[in-house]
Amino acid sequence: MRVAVLHDYLNQFGGAERVLKVILELFPDADLYTLLYDEKKTFGLFKKNIKKTSFLDREWVRRHHRMFIPAMPLASRMLTSSERYDLIISSTAGYAKGFRIEAPYHVSYCHSPLRYAWEIDYLKNLPFSPHAMSKDILRPVAEWLRRWDKRASGRVNLFIANSHFIAEKIGAYYGREAEVVYPPVSLNTFYHEPETPEDGYHLMVGRMLYYKGFDLGIRAFNRMKKPLIVIGRGPEEKKLHSLADPRYITFISSVSDEKLRHYYNGAKALIFPQIEDFGLVAAEAQACGTPVLAFSKGGGGEIVENGETGLIFTEQSSDAIIQAVKEAELVRFNRKKIAEHGARFSEASFKKLFLEAIKQSGFSSH
């Protein structure tokens, strides 16, 4: 069976790329198509599968890809192939489902519908969109992206969402139903270390994007005068450094997965104030036995069992984080049980449920 795997862009290595890695373990001989490819930033993990990239695939674009968001629908339409496949699997938060690669059946693992189309605040925070730019000016851009995204969704036979939160968006935006298969966590990498003592700090991890809520966490821990370790890089990095009191906030640009596991295990809790599609960071923390203090909306509310594996707060604010931290200090969390809860997000479980969803949808490789 000939399989093509489509992914939006590979100029970074985050949660979506971890999922792609596991999908390619299921289909190791698949051809991989993507708009942008940076071998160094993705640690050479996808080199053997790369078949073709788009006309945008230039070094400067790879480094500043958010400036080229309006050009990506065109690049997607122009990413074609004369090859014919039996099955297409797209791993996408917008663009890959619109690549012009042909097969009788297309399964889309959807991390999110195209954010810039359906949530205009994302457009306001792009490099070409000054904050002063009104929504009235941006609305025609969003409406054009929305029409393209809706048309591209018509190329998909089966949607698999990464959370119930995203399945609801697929229903609202595309008028389609979706199966739900949670993203995978490598339990060989992220696991509970009983010998690692809790070290008195709280933790935030991820790409420094405006919607991730790092500013809320930093302000909260500045006010509480408690230690917070922030791991990650991204466009908001300079702004976040300017907000932080260095007596309490420690920034770490990047760490190995092994080192990250130690940080998870040593943390009192992971702070997770964002509205995430799923939130692989929170699932990794749970697999390590670490309590998660999460905002109720989005994937965090699906990952955390309130009072058992962490706490849920219902207001996206520094005040709510402070209150959650205070409440968590009164709870004796069982880290072993938290790790057992996190194990349900295993790679083995993902592979099994992913293949079952495809099979039960009616696809046949014969």
C-alpha 249/C-alpha 242 separation (Å) is 11
pLDDT at position 132 is 43
pLDDT at position 138 is 73
What amino acid is encoded at 214 in this protein? F
Q: Would you write out the chain's pLDDT as a tens digit for each of its 366 residues? A: 999 999 999 999 988 999 999 999 999 999 999 999 999 999 999 999 999 999 999 999 999 998 898 899 999 999 999 999 999 999 999 999 999 999 999 999 999 999 989 987 777 666 655 444 556 667 888 899 999 999 999 999 999 999 999 999 999 999 999 999 999 999 999 999 999 888 999 999 999 988 999 999 999 999 999 999 999 999 999 999 999 999 999 999 989 999 999 999 999 999 999 999 999 999 999 999 999 999 999 999 999 999 999 999 999 999 999 999 999 999 999 999 999 999 999 999 999 999 999 999 988 776
Q: Where are the beta strands (DSSP E) in 17-123?
A: 31-34, 50-52, 80-84, 87-92, 100-102, 106-110
Which pair of tokens denotes residue 245? 């009191």
Rounded to whole angstroms, what are the CA distances from 52 to 12, 46, 144, 209, 357? 17, 12, 26, 28, 28
Q: Where are the beta strands (DSSP E) in the chain?
A: 3-7, 31-34, 50-52, 80-84, 87-92, 100-102, 106-110, 158-161, 178-180, 202-205, 228-231, 249-252, 270-272, 292-295, 310-313
Q: Cβ of 110: how many Cβ atoms within 10 Å?
A: 27
The conformation of residue 162, written as its DSSP 8-state character, comes to S
C-alpha 214/C-alpha 182 separation (Å) is 24
CA-wise closest residue to 177 among 159, 198, 195:
159
What amino acid is encoded at 259 in this protein? K
Hey, do 3-184+347-360 and 202-344 end up sharing a CATH topology, with the first three levels equal?
yes
C-alpha 163/C-alpha 112 separation (Å) is 9
pLDDT at position 352 is 98
Which pair of tokens denotes residue 96? 């890959």
C-alpha 309/C-alpha 293 separation (Å) is 9
Query: What's the pTM value of the predicted model, to 2 decimals?
Result: 0.91
CATH topology of domain 3-184+347-360: Rossmann fold (3.40.50)
C-alpha 301/C-alpha 304 separation (Å) is 6
C-alpha 57/C-alpha 8 separation (Å) is 12
CATH class of 202-344: alpha beta
CA-wise closest residue to 240 among 221, 266, 263, 255:
221
Q: Give the start-to-end residue ranges of the domains of the chain.
A: 3-184+347-360, 202-344
Cα-based angle 87, 91, 93 (whole degrees, multiple of 5): 140
Phi and psi at 19, nearest 5°, equal -65, -45
Distance, CA of 185 to chain centre? 12
